[in-house]
């Protein structure tokens, strides 16, 4: 009876152990979704613009990993990789013997498969349960995947130091090239990093890295992974600090806008799909935009005092694509994007919506309006509001064209009063202004806050008659090359051709005979409007030619004055003009006249 009880207990324990074994064995998560990959942003010509990530890892298909890279890993980490089934008893015995002889830890006993299992478990504790899990997961991996698949998985997930996860990120970080182009010596160096990434990093310890690389090469030769000639060529390679790649992301404010938009859309899944984002950014225009903003602010600060900020946005009229964006003078000092996040009063730039609304009501540019002092009751505040012209100069009866070209405040407010302030607000919203606009009479002079991006996009309507939704990217692919998104340009007609022509006449008049005469230096027909707010706290110029709408804002983050007489024409217009003088249009940026015929535009 006692023997039967003991037999039953042993049987029960065996069942429990077998159940535990099977539970662990079959609970291995799938590789991929549980690991982070970098998001790569490309410029509009396909070049890499920037990356953002939690872990800098890029997925590379197994066939794209060179054979000598895989062999270098085996030589560095697990000589018997092709002989064992995930757990190498001989390797452990050899490591124990070497460590006892050396009286220190000289060699580990973990196989490549066990190390991959450790990465998958994502646990740092050293308990017996965890070690058992690691061994069982290694067995499961060997059962589920081929040796080549295990090497491919390992090389995509392993940490190589300097925030580089995976062989592709390591190749880009240390050698500024894709993993597919690594030579034998470079493969040996990267494989050698697995022992201690920080210790053997060529960026930190080039001598130790070279020494470790030589050891891996000798192992590769001994295992007959390379010929003696290949070995001799590889050992002649030397590590130099100058060869290492130091990344510097371009268009930081633009890229940050893309990151924020994608984070809002994809949440935590953003970093698990290895996304390739093909943006609308034209790096030639972007570099020019950054330069003119930097130079323009420097000149302003020489006239006033430091800490002036500026922003610039350029939008393609024919597609709504954002071609350049500068959100401030120095992203490293301030990540606040003044092109998309700063709500500022637009001042006289907003007057365009007043005149567009008047034209919509049936008025013409030759109709007259009185430019004299006007008093409007402010019922909400229990007082009268009296807008004034610059320098308190008034012109009596003037045409709409003259009132607009000279940016006459009183005439503009009278015009808005005649057509209704609500119609002005409706026109601004129709063209693309998304911030909340009231109907206080000061609306006519731009007293309600807007963003530079919205204002610039709204001016596209004056050039094309169509409301545009600004686009920051044209497509997104996942790590397998499959499309995730392919957003199409969308336009909705908001202004007739007749009103567009009349608005262009007004906006051209400010350049030819009005206060924006400096814009003529662009060297071709351009259209636009200046804006200045009270106490010179904001300076604007927004306009367009036949391909781009460009907006510029200048101000201070604390809303104090830029400086006396730093108006839109003095502070913002020179930056705008310098950009328009030097910008060069690639063939892929079509003329505005081709807008209607473009097949990719889908009216909504």
* Per-residue pLDDT tens over the stretch 94-119: 544 554 444 444 444 588 888 888 88
Give the strands of the sheet with 48-52, arranged side by side. 48-52, 39-42, 276-279, 473-477, 483-485
In the chain, what are the domain boundaries? Answer: 37-243, 283-478+490-603
Count of other CB atoms within 10 angstroms of residue 128: 7
Q: Residue 45 pLDDT > 50, yes or no? A: yes
Q: Does residue 601 or residue 192 have the better pLDDT? A: 192
pTM over 0.95: no
Confidence of residue 595 (pLDDT cuts 50, 70, 90): very low
- Cα Dmax for the chain: 120
Q: Find out whether 518 and 543 touch, Cβ atoms under 8 Å.
A: no
Q: Quote the tokens at residue 30.
A: 């799938």
3-state secondary structure of 57: strand
Point out the catalytic residue in the list 43, 77, 186, 219. 77
| Contact partners, residue 273, CB within 8 Å, separation at least 6 | 37, 266, 478, 479, 484
Q: How many CA atoms lie within 13 A of 496 on its CB side?
A: 8
- The DSSP H or E segment spanning 296 is helix 283-303
Count of other CB atoms within 10 angstroms of residue 52: 19
- The DSSP H or E segment spanning 6 is helix 2-25
Q: Find out whether 81 and 112 touch, Cβ atoms under 8 Å.
A: yes
Q: Find out whether 388 and 373 touch, Cβ atoms under 8 Å.
A: yes
| Contact partners, residue 104, CB within 8 Å, separation at least 6 | none
Distance CA 350, CA 450 (A): 10
- For 211-235, the pLDDT digits (tens) are 999 999 999 999 999 999 899 988 8
pLDDT at position 198, please? 85
3-state secondary structure of 541: strand
Question: DSSP labels for 14-36?
Answer: HHHHHHHHHHHHT-PPPTTTTS-
How large is the average pLDDT for residues 473-500? 92
| Contact partners, residue 549, CB within 8 Å, separation at least 6 | 314, 315, 317, 456, 457, 459, 460, 463, 542, 543
Q: Does residue 58 or residue 404 have the better pLDDT? A: 404
Architecture per CATH, 37-243: Orthogonal Bundle (1.10)
344 phi-psi bin (left φ>0, alpha ψ -120 to 50, beta other):
beta
Alpha-helix residue ranges (DSSP H) falling in 486-598: 497-512, 573-582
How large is the average pLDDT for residues 50-77? 88
pLDDT at position 543, please? 98
- The DSSP H or E segment spanning 192 is helix 184-192
User: Which range, of 336-345, 355-364, 490-499, averages the lowest pLDDT?
Assistant: 490-499
pLDDT at position 145, please? 87
Confidence of residue 242 (pLDDT cuts 50, 70, 90): very low
- For 515-571, the pLDDT digits (tens) are 999 999 999 999 999 999 999 999 999 999 999 999 999 999 999 999 999 999 999
As a residue count, the chain comes to 604
Distance CA 62, CA 59 (A): 9
Count of other CB atoms within 10 angstroms of residue 6: 10
Confidence of residue 479 (pLDDT cuts 50, 70, 90): confident
pLDDT at position 292, please? 98
Distance CA 539, CA 296 (A): 13
pLDDT at position 330, please? 94
601, 553, 542, 127: which is closest to 321 by C-alpha?
A: 601
Q: Does residue 30 or residue 409 have the better pLDDT? A: 409
Q: Residue 13 pLDDT > 90, yes or no? A: no
Distance CA 297, CA 580 (A): 17
Decide whether 37-243 matches 283-478+490-603 in CATH topology. no
Alpha-helix residue ranges (DSSP H) falling in 309-467: 351-360, 400-405, 409-419, 421-431, 452-464
* Share above pLDDT 90 across residues of the chain, in percent, rounded to a whole number: 57
Burial bucket for residue 503 (CB in 10 Å: 0-12, 13-18, 19+): buried
Q: What is the DSSP letter of 518?
A: G
- For 412-443, the pLDDT digits (tens) are 999 999 999 999 999 999 999 999 998 889 99
348 in catalytic set: yes
Q: Find out whether 344 and 538 touch, Cβ atoms under 8 Å.
A: yes
Distance CA 594, CA 604 (A): 19
How large is the average pLDDT for residues 173-201? 90
List the beta bridge partners of residue 532.
539
Sign of torsion, CA 271 272 276 278? Answer: negative
Q: Find out whether 165 and 60 touch, Cβ atoms under 8 Å.
A: no
Burial bucket for residue 254 (CB in 10 Å: 0-12, 13-18, 19+): buried
Q: Residue 600 pLDDT > 60, yes or no? A: no
Provide the b/e sequence for 94-107 (b: ≥16 CB within 10 Å). Answer: ebeeeeeeeeeeee
In the block, tokens 């545009």 appear at: 468
In the block, tokens 């092709």 appear at: 82
pLDDT at position 190, please? 93
Point out the catalytic residue in the list 43, 185, 319, 348. 348
Cα Rg for the chain, rounded, in angstroms? 33
- The DSSP H or E segment spanning 398 is strand 396-399
Burial bucket for residue 166 (CB in 10 Å: 0-12, 13-18, 19+): buried
- For 148-165, the pLDDT digits (tens) are 988 999 999 899 988 888
Q: Find out whether 490 and 604 touch, Cβ atoms under 8 Å.
A: yes
432, 406, 403: which is closest to 551 by C-alpha?
A: 432
Mean pLDDT of the chain: 86
Question: DSSP labels for 239-293?
Answer: --GGGS-----SSHHHHHHHHHHHHHHHGGGGGTTT-EEEE---HHHHHHHHHHH
pLDDT at position 591, please? 53
In the block, tokens 């397998």 appear at: 480
Q: Residue 136 pLDDT > 80, yes or no? A: no
- For 302-312, the pLDDT digits (tens) are 999 999 999 99
CATH of domain 283-478+490-603: 3.40.710.10
Q: Find out whether 225 and 71 touch, Cβ atoms under 8 Å.
A: yes
User: Which range, of 84-88, 192-196, 404-408, 426-430, averages the lowest pLDDT?
Assistant: 84-88
List the beta bridge partners of residue 554.
310, 539
Q: Residue 601 pLDDT > 60, yes or no? A: no
Distance CA 401, CA 366 (A): 7
Q: Residue 89 pLDDT > 70, yes or no? A: no
């Amino acid at each position: 009876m006692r023997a039967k009880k003991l037999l039953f207990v042993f049987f029960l324990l065996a069942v429990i152990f077998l159940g535990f074994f099977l539970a662990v064995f079959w609970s291995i998560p799938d590789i991929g979704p549980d690991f982070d990959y970098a998001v790569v942003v490309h410029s509009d010509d396909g070049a890499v613009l920037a990356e953002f990530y939690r872990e800098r890892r890029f997925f590379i298909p197994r066939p794209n990993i060179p054979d000598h890279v895989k062999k270098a890993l085996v030589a560095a980490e697990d000589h018997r990789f092709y002989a064992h089934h995930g757990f190498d008893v001989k390797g452990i015995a050899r490591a124990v013997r070497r460590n006892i002889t050396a009286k220190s830890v000289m060699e580990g006993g973990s196989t490549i498969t066990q190390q991959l299992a450790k990465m998958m478990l994502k646990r740092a504790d050293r308990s017996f349960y965890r070690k058992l899990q690691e061994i069982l997961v290694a067995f499961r991996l060997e059962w589920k995947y081929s040796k080549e698949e295990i090497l491919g998985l390992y090389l995509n997930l392993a940490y190589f130091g300097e925030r580089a996860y995976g062989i592709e990120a390591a190749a880009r970080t240390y050698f500024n090239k894709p993993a597919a182009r690594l030579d034998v010596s470079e493969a040996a160096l990267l494989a050698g990093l697995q022992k201690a990434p920080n210790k053997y990093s060529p960026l930190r310890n080039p001598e130790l890295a070279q020494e470790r690389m030589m050891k891996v090469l000798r192992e590769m030769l001994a295992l007959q992974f390379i010929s003696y000639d290949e070995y001799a060529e590889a050992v002649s390679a030397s590590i130099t600090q100058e060869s290492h790649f130091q990344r510097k992301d371009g268009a930081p404010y633009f890229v940050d806008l893309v990151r924020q938009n994608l984070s809002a859309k994809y949440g935590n899944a953003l970093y698990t799909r290895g996304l390739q984002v093909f943006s609308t950014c034209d790096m030639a225009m972007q570099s020019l935009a950054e330069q003119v903003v930097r130079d323009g602010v420097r000149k302003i600060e020489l006239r006033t005092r430091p800490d002036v900020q500026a922003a610039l946005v350029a939008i393609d009229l024919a597609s709504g694509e954002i071609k350049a964006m500068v959100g401030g003078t120095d992203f490293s000092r301030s990540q606040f994007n003044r092109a998309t996040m700063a709500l500022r009063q637009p001042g006289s730039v907003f007057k365009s919506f007043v005149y567009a609304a008047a034209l919509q009501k049936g008025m013409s540019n030759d109709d007259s309006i009185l430019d004299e002092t006007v008093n409007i009751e402010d019922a909400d505040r229990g007082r009268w509001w009296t807008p004034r012209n610059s320098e308190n100069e008034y012109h009596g009866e003037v045409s709409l064209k003259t009132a607009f070209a000279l940016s006459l405040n009183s005439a503009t407010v009278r015009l808005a009063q005649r057509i209704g302030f609500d119609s002005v607000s409706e026109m601004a919203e129709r063209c693309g202004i998304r911030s909340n606009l009231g109907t206080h009479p000061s609306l006519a002079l731009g007293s309600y806050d807007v963003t530079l991006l919205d204002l610039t996009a709204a001016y596209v309507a004056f050039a094309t008659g169509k409301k545009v939704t600004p686009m920051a990217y044209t497509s997104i692919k996942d790590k397998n090359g499959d499309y995730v998104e392919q957003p199409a340009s969308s336009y909705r007609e908001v202004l007739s051709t007749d009103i567009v022509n009349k608005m262009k006449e007004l906006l051209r008049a400010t350049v030819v005979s009005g206060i924006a005469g400096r814009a003529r230096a662009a060297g071709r027909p351009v259209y636009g409007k200046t804006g200045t707010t009270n106490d010179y706290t904001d300076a604007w110029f927004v306009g367009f030619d036949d391909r781009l709408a460009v907006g510029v804002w200048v101000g201070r983050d604390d809303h104090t004055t830029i400086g006396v007489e730093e108006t839109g024409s003095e502070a913002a217009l020179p930056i705008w003009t310098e950009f328009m003088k030097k910008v060069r249009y690639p063939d892929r940026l079509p003329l505005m006249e081709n807008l209607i015929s473009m097949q990719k535009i889908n009216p909504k």
